[in-house]
Structure 1
Amino acid sequence: MKRLLGIDVGTKTIGLAVSDELGWTAQGVETIASGDEQPNVSIEKLKTWIAHYDAEKIVCGWPKNMNGTIGPRAQSIEAFSKRIEQKVGIPVVLWDERLTTVSAEKMLISADVRRNKRKLVIDKMAAVLILQSYLDAKGSSAVSGGVLDE
């Protein structure tokens, strides 16, 4: 099975995670300049990571409102994910990411990571949580050797 990339698109940075080859675990990769700030640079960086990991799909965090509605930020992420899909040539799956950044922040605080260091890794950690959530939800397909489809 090819790997999957997970992304958490923030207003200033994009957190990036990658799955293992079996599709069981997600690991943080890096934080890159955001689509809001530099869309072409971030897409070129994603292309590099896609080629490096031979990724077959991107799982993009989709920040729905707590009541499940789609707000302006989620609409912005939808548009960005469509641009990514067109420019990199692999599918992009939108995945509900409600509270992943909050969860990432709590994990980093409990690990006693200083505030200035947390700012540097929070989006990468959120990308790990988004991708791991996707892998866990689709786990029965991955374990049976099937392709992770929607």
Structure 2
Amino acid sequence: MTPVAGEEMQQPEGLPRGVRLGVDVGDVRVGLARSDLDGMIATPIETLERGTAVRRVVEEAQELDAHVIMVGLPRSMNGTEGVAAQKARTFTAELMVSLSTDAPDIEVRLIDERLTTVSAHKALHSSGRKGRKHRQVVDQVAAVMILQQALDTERSTGARTGERVEAPGVHDPAQEETR
């Protein structure tokens, strides 16, 4: 859907215009990506150290006036959740605590991201980047892939995707996972 000169991009009905952030949680590093205001394309922002990542994601969300943060949830091929998924959920819980005081209006969603890091390594290898240098940017590339997948799903369905994460102590069954 390409706009005609002078026309503004139309958001899918029900989705407000605004920046979305994508996050790929690793053991040591966290990749961060952003969308444009119309939610069309994801681009990398930076690779964060795990220890300061929550604070930086919140700062970036506030600076960009982000509406949603999409955090990758690495499930196994059969859909079960292992250690990596638990680490993503722990990161998301830390993020929710920080957002509840600093930016309570920002929505957080967990996005199924099976094989995203593997795909990111393959993309970097295909682009000619040496394997040793992958670690510097692979988390950013994975964050872009997570966010782009979510943006594409939003555009095709007209609704947010993934599992909505509630603030600690809040549960709304109407906001469960949609795909």
On whether the aligned pair clears a TM of 0.5, the verdict is yes
Q: Alpha-carbon deviation of 1:72?
A: 2.3
| Equivalent pair of 2:69/2:109 in contact (CA under 8 Å) | yes
> Which residue pairs with 1:85 in the alignment?
96
How far the C-alpha of 1:76 sits from its partner, in A, is 2.3
Structure 1 residue 117: Cα displacement: 2.2
Supply the distance in 2 between the matched residues of 1:73 and 1:111 (Cα, whole angstroms).
Answer: 27
Instruction: In structure 1, list runs of 5 or more residues that go unmatched.
Output: none
Partner of 1:44: 55
Extract structure 1 runs of 4+ deviating beyond 6 A: none
Q: Percent identity?
A: 38
Structure 2 counterpart SS, 1:81:
helix
Structure 1 position 75, deviation (Å): 1.8
The amino acid that maps onto 1:118 is H
Q: Name whichever structure is richer in helix by fraction.
A: 1
- Point out which structure has higher relative CO (alpha carbons under 8 A, 6+ apart): 1
Instruction: Give secondary structure in 1 for the equivalent of 2:77.
Output: coil
Confirm or deny: 8 A CA contact 2:58 2:95 kept in the other structure: no
> Which residue of the partner structure matches residue 128 of structure 2?
112
Q: Deviations over 1:68-120 (max 9, x none)?
A: 01112212211221220221232211101111111111111111012232110
Name stretches of at least 5 consecutive residues in structure 2 with no aligned partner: 1-16, 162-177
RMSD after superposition: 1.5
Whole-angstrom distance in 1 between the partners of 2:26 and 2:95:
15
| Match status 1:76 vs 2:87 | yes
Q: CA deviation at 1:141?
A: 5.6
Residue 48 (structure 2) aligned to one of 32, 37, 43:
32
Partner SS, residue 143 of structure 2: helix
The separation in 1 between residues aligned to 2:83 and 2:71, in whole angstroms, is: 16
1:71-150 maps to which residues of 2 (within 5 A)?
A: 71-88=82-99, 89=104, 90-140=106-156, 148=160
Partners in 2 of 1:99 and 1:140 — Cα distance? 22
